Amino acid sequence: MEITPLQEWIARKTGISSGENLDAGTLHDHQLDLLHKTLDLAKTNSPFYRHHLRNVHVQDLKSMADIVNLPFTYPRDIADSGLQMLCVSQSEIARVVTLQTSGTTGNPKRLYFTREDLELTADFFAHGMKALVTQGQKVMVLMPGPTLGSVGERLTTGLEQMGCRTVVHGFVNDPGQVIDKINALAVDGLIGLPAQVLSLARWPRNILPGRLKSVLLSGDYLPRAIIDAIQDVWRCPVFNHYGMTETGLGGGVECQALKGCHLREADLYLEIVDPQGKKVPHGHPGEIVLTTLTRTGMPLIRYRTGDISRLLTARCACGSSLKRLDRLQGRSVYRYNGMELALQEMDESLFRLKDIVDFQVTIEKQQQRCRLNLEFWAIPGGKPDLALDIRQILHEIPGVARWINQGMLSINDVSPSRNNLFFNPGKRKIKEIIT
């Protein structure tokens, strides 16, 4: 097994001669230096941060542990004050990403990146991807491109730097058509959303055996059931990537040990905190808090991502001393009158059904109780009584059965979808309708 390529990359970016000499102390010294620079940049150039950090004296931060003395920033800060967070003039912004927020405030979040910020992302991809693809491979990206700064475009730039060819297809809409393209173009690596890549693995017209050398899943939390299902069919390693627009798309990627993402620590500093914002004991789960260390357009300082995970404590089997982030926990939990329904629990059970490609859970809220509807998308020629299997499994899921037994939930309609369910790709979530 090869050590994560991020070890050598981070060592070089930190000014250390080789990965062997990279230790936590040296890395923290370097990160502290970058944090000081980021704080100076933000306090000097951004009206938001000038006010937000008015009580912060940069030189009081003597070690990275002192970062806990800085105030948090929240998604609503980006929604309300995004432009005031800029540290450069708008003419220096090369890419703006607009994200709808889940809250009811209405303002979308806008994130701004300079050309330099975008270059750093491609550089991370060019090195992080070495864990799973090698020079000469042809990689299909099942994510949007080719606009400057999009994930497809940045991956193309990064992968071309390491001598790979890329085909940016965009999201999967018709699995059969994507499979034909993979076979025709002799693609041997795939990058995509977990459920979308699963659809390709399960589709009856499959990819020629031995064709794919590796798969990278990104863009959503990753159920174990999906990793197992893809590995079962294609017999190739399935890598996880952690990232969001706020991390500059790239955030961390698994090494060949496939046990947690090594992080982009030369550019980002991640903390894990409890709901009160206190640092959790090492290895405990909590919310990921992000600080950018090299971002020049719109730095994020102690940004509450809302993502839940934990740092793994043991040294990685690849031999690296770099931190590792476990798979994210699913964020979609429906809460009503003390009832909590987690999509993750349903994903882990239902994606084990071999004929399922995707499904959408909708909760109909009525007085005092809820009805669960499930629309599923099955492979063509799949089991005719799949709906019955799904119903049975739903009743066996502890987190669903509990609420049924307490009379707070009933399973209403379970039926095949008339459409393919990928028309609105993105993070999986439970939908709510009020009747």
Give the separation between CA 356 and CA 164, rounded to whole angstroms. 33
Give the separation between CA 434 and CA 370, rounded to whole angstroms. 9
Minimum CB–partner distance for residue 257 and Zn ion (Å): 5
End-to-end C-alpha distance for the chain, whole angstroms:
55
Q: Considering the complex, state which of residue 212 and residue 255 has its C-beta at the smaller distance from Zn ion.
A: 255
Q: Considering the complex, state which of residue 128 and residue 158 has its C-beta at the smaller distance from Zn ion.
A: 128
Q: Considering the complex, state which of residue 316 and residue 328 has its C-beta at the smaller distance from Zn ion.
A: 316
Give the separation between CA 265 and CA 14, rounded to whole angstroms. 10
Strands (E), 67-226: 93-99, 109-114, 138-141, 165-168, 189-192, 214-217
* Residue from 288, 293, 325 nearest 303 by CA: 288
Q: Considering the complex, state which of residue 318 and residue 372 has its C-beta at the smaller distance from Zn ion.
A: 318
Q: Considering the complex, state which of residue 292 and residue 320 has its C-beta at the smaller distance from Zn ion.
A: 320
Minimum CB–partner distance for residue 337 and Zn ion (Å): 44
Minimum CB–partner distance for residue 318 and Zn ion (Å): 3
Give the separation between CA 319 and CA 271, rounded to whole angstroms. 22
Q: Which residues bind Zn ion (CB under 5 A)?
A: 4, 255, 257, 316, 318, 320
User: What letter would DSSP give residue 408?
Assistant: S
Q: Considering the complex, state which of residue 215 and residue 350 has its C-beta at the smaller distance from Zn ion.
A: 215
* Residue from 269, 287, 270 nearest 278 by CA: 287
Beta-strand pair 93-99/109-114: antiparallel
Residues, the chain, total?
A: 435
Minimum CB–partner distance for residue 324 and Zn ion (Å): 7
Q: Considering the complex, state which of residue 201 and residue 325 has its C-beta at the smaller distance from Zn ion.
A: 325
Minimum CB–partner distance for residue 366 and Zn ion (Å): 49
- How would DSSP label each residue in 121-146? HHHHHHHHGGGT--TT-EEEE-S---
User: What letter would DSSP give residue 295?
Assistant: -
Q: Considering the complex, state which of residue 292 and residue 309 has its C-beta at the smaller distance from Zn ion.
A: 309
Minimum CB–partner distance for residue 316 and Zn ion (Å): 3
Local structure of 432: helix, strand or coil: strand
Minimum CB–partner distance for residue 121 and Zn ion (Å): 21
User: What letter would DSSP give residue 386?
Assistant: H
Asked if 82 and 110 touch (Cβ cutoff 8 Å), the reply is yes
Minimum CB–partner distance for residue 217 and Zn ion (Å): 17
